[in-house]
Amino acid sequence: MTPKVLPTSARVAPASGESITLQGFFGIFRYSRRAIELVWSTNRRLTLALAVLTLIAGVLPASVAYVGSLIVDAVVTAIRAGGGDARHVVEFVALEGALVAAIAAAQRGLSLCQSLLRAQLGQRVNVMILEKALTLNLSHFEDSEFYDKLTRARREASTRPLSLVTRTFGLVQNAISLVSYGALLSHFSPWAVVVLLLAGLPAFIAEAKFSGDAFRLFRWRSPETRMQIYLETVLAREDHAKEVKLYGLGPRLLERYRDIFRRLYKEDRALTIRRDAWGFGLGLVATLALYAAYAWIAVSTVLRAITLGQMTMYLALFRQGQAAVSAMLSAVGGMYEDNLYLSTLYEYLETDVPAQAGAALHGPHPEDGIRFEDVSFTYPEAEEPALEHITLHLTPGTSVALVGENGSGKTTLIKLLTRLYAPTSGRILLDGRDLAEWDEQALRERIGVIFQDFTRYQMLVGENVGAGDERYFEDEPRWREAAAKGMASEFIDTLPAGYQTQLGKWFKDGRELSGGQWQKIALARAFMRTRADILVLDEPTAAMDAQAEADIFEHFRQLAKERITILISHRFSTVRMADQIAVLDRGRIIERGSHEELMQLNGRYAHLFALQARGYR
C-alpha cells in the first residue's frame, strides 16, 4: 500500500507519524490531557462526578469477588459445623447483593454524566469551531487542505472529545480494577499476578501498534474521504439536483463514490484482517495462561493450600482481570482515533490568523479616493500572477468599468480592494492612506460589494436585503428604503407575504426566485450600506436583460453622486456609460480611458465593442 497523498498529509501531520516506539505508544495519551481540560471547563461538577464514579466502578468488582469467597467459605464452615446456622451466609450474600447494586448504580451514573456532558461538549466544540471560522481570512477557505481540517473538525465535533475522555477514564477504571485484583491475587501467589499481566501484554502491544497503523491510514486518506463527502453533497442537495438530473450525472458520480469506498475498503480489510489475526493468536496466549492458572489454583485447592472460597475468588479475579485487560485493549484502539480527531481539531483551532493591524478610521485626503500603485498579486500557491503592475486612480463621484475576458483578474482586483487579500507588491490607498493601515470595520463600512456569486440566504426576503448592513438586519423600514433604491420593491410587493416571505427551498413555504429577482435583492442589499461610498458591482446584473442592466447602472450613477462606482460587466451598452473604462488582459491593464477615447484608440476595446454591436444589429 503506497499512500499517494503522503506529501500533503506529511505536512498536516507533523507529530503523528512515529512508529511503535515508546513515545508512539504514549501518543495515545497525547490529547487526553487537553480533552480532560476541555471537559473540565465545560462542566466541572459533571467531570468530578465522572471521576468519582469511575473510581468507585473500578474498585467495587474486586470487593464483590472477595465477598464471594467469604460466602463459599461460610457455607463450607456451616456445613462442617453440622448445618443449621446460615446467618453469616445470608449476611454475606446480602452484602454481595448490595455491592452489585452499587456497581450498577455507579455505571448508570457514569452513563448519565456522559450523556449530559456529550450534549454540552458537542455544542461547546461546535461553537469553538464556528467562532474560529469567523476570524479566518478568505484565503483559508480557499485552501483545500485547510478546508479539509475544518470539515473534519466539524464532522465529529459532538462525539470525539467526550469519547476520548470516556475512554481515558475507562482505561483508568480498568487499571484500578486490575490493581485491586492483583492485590488480592498476590495473596495466592505474586507469580499469578505476573502471569495475569504478561498474558495480556502481547495483545496490548499489538493493539497499540495496529491502532497506530489505523491512525496513520485515516490521515493519509483524508482527501479521499473529503471527495466522498463532496460527492454526497452533489448527489443529495437541492442546489445541485437540477444539473445532476438533467445531465444524468448521478450514476457516474455514484460510481465514483463507490470506487472510493472500494479502494478504502481494501486497505481497511487488509488492516482489519491482520489486526484480528494477531488479536486471535495473542488472545489464545491469554486463554492458555488463564487455564494454566485455573489448573494451578484447582490443584492448590485439592492440596488444601487454599480454601474452596479462595478458589472461587481467585478464579473470578483471574477471569475479570483478563476482561479488564481486553477492555483496556479496546479503549486503546479507540483512543488513537479520538486522538486523530483532536489533533485535527486543535490544528484547526490553533491556525495562525495574522491580526489585522490597522486602526485608522480616516485618511488624510478624502478627495483622493482610491489609488492602485503598481499593484501585483499572486494567489497563494499559484504559479502565475493574477494581477501585474496595476495602476489606477478613482476619485469620488466617478465610475469605472472593468472589462476583460474571464480570468483576466477583474474579481481579483475587487478582492484586493476589499482587503480580502493583500497585494504581493505595490500598494492600494484609500483617501491617501494604505489599505493595510485602515481599521477593518471602518474599511468594510466604506465599501458595498455585490459579487457575481452573492449569497442567497435561505431566510426572509427582508433579511436578504437587511444582510447588507448587519446593524439593521431586522429593520423593516430600512429594508423598504433599500429595496426601492435597488429597484426590487415592485416585485417584492407581489410576493405572498411581502418582505416576510421565506426564500429558498430548505424551509417550509420557501419561495424560489428567478435569477434576475435574486439580483435585484442583491442590489437592494448594497443600498442598505448607506455609509458605503464605494460601490462595487461584480456582474450582479448578468441575469437581467441588457435594458434592465443599463437602467440599473444609470440609476446607480444617479444615486451615487459622491460615490465611486466600480462595475464589472460584459455588456458594452452598460460599460460605455462609465466615466472611465479599464481593459484587463491576463492580469494587466492594457487600455484605459473613456468610451470615446478608447474607440478612438481603435485597440482591443474598440474591437470588442464593434464585435458586440454587430451582434445586436
Residues found near ligand ADP in the complex (CB under 6 A): 142, 379, 382, 386, 404, 406-412
Strand 370-377 to 425-430 pairing: antiparallel
Give pairs for 291-299: CB < 8 Å, separation 24+.
292/195, 293/192, 293/195, 293/196, 293/318, 294/318, 296/192, 297/188, 297/192
Angle at 205 between CA 199 and CA 211, to 5 degrees: 135
- Kindly state the smallest distance separating residue 458's Cβ from ligand ADP, in Å: 25
Calpha distance 416→581 (Å, rounded): 19
Residues in the chain, total: 617
- Kindly state the smallest distance separating residue 542's Cβ from ligand ADP, in Å: 12
Calpha distance 601→48 (Å, rounded): 80
Instruction: Output phi, psi for 451, to 5 deg.
Output: -80, 160
- Kindly state the smallest distance separating residue 140's Cβ from ligand ADP, in Å: 11
Nearer Cβ to ligand ADP (256/389): 389
Query: Is residue 318 within 8 Å of residue 185, measured between CB atoms?
Result: yes
- Kindly state the smallest distance separating residue 584's Cβ from ligand ADP, in Å: 6
In single-letter form, the type of residue at position 52 comes to: V
- Kindly state the smallest distance separating residue 370's Cβ from ligand ADP, in Å: 17
- Kindly state the smallest distance separating residue 202's Cβ from ligand ADP, in Å: 52
Nearer Cβ to ligand ADP (27/409): 409
In single-letter form, the type of residue at position 268 comes to: D
- Kindly state the smallest distance separating residue 394's Cβ from ligand ADP, in Å: 18
Query: Is residue 445 within 8 Å of residue 518, measured between CB atoms?
Result: no
Chain Cα centroid distance, residue 248? 31
**Residue owning grid cell 507588491:** 425
In single-letter form, the type of residue at position 564 comes to: I
Nearer Cβ to ligand ADP (60/428): 428
Nearer Cβ to ligand ADP (38/522): 522
- Kindly state the smallest distance separating residue 412's Cβ from ligand ADP, in Å: 3
- Kindly state the smallest distance separating residue 143's Cβ from ligand ADP, in Å: 9
Nearer Cβ to ligand ADP (9/408): 408
Nearer Cβ to ligand ADP (113/401): 401
Which contiguous run of DSSP H or E holds residue 394? strand 387-394
Instruction: Output phi, psi for 555, to 5 deg.
Output: -55, -45
Nearer Cβ to ligand ADP (2/406): 406
Calpha distance 615→611 (Å, rounded): 7
Calpha distance 376→390 (Å, rounded): 6
Nearer Cβ to ligand ADP (134/382): 382
Calpha distance 378→20 (Å, rounded): 43
- Kindly state the smallest distance separating residue 404's Cβ from ligand ADP, in Å: 6
- Kindly state the smallest distance separating residue 397's Cβ from ligand ADP, in Å: 25
Return the SS3 of 377: strand
Calpha distance 281→563 (Å, rounded): 78
Nearer Cβ to ligand ADP (112/420): 420
Nearer Cβ to ligand ADP (143/268): 143
Q: How far are the Cα atoms of 266, 408, 512 from residue 273, in angstroms, in the given order?
A: 11, 54, 51
Nearer Cβ to ligand ADP (25/379): 379
Strand 580-585 to 564-568 pairing: unpaired
DSSP assignments along 427-487, one per residue: EEEETTEEGGGB-HHHHHHHEEEE-TT----SSBHHHHHHTTSGGGTT-HHHHHHHHHHTT
Nearer Cβ to ligand ADP (249/543): 543
Q: How many CA atoms lie within 13 A of 309 on its CB side?
A: 16
- Kindly state the smallest distance separating residue 582's Cβ from ligand ADP, in Å: 12
In single-letter form, the type of residue at position 498 comes to: G
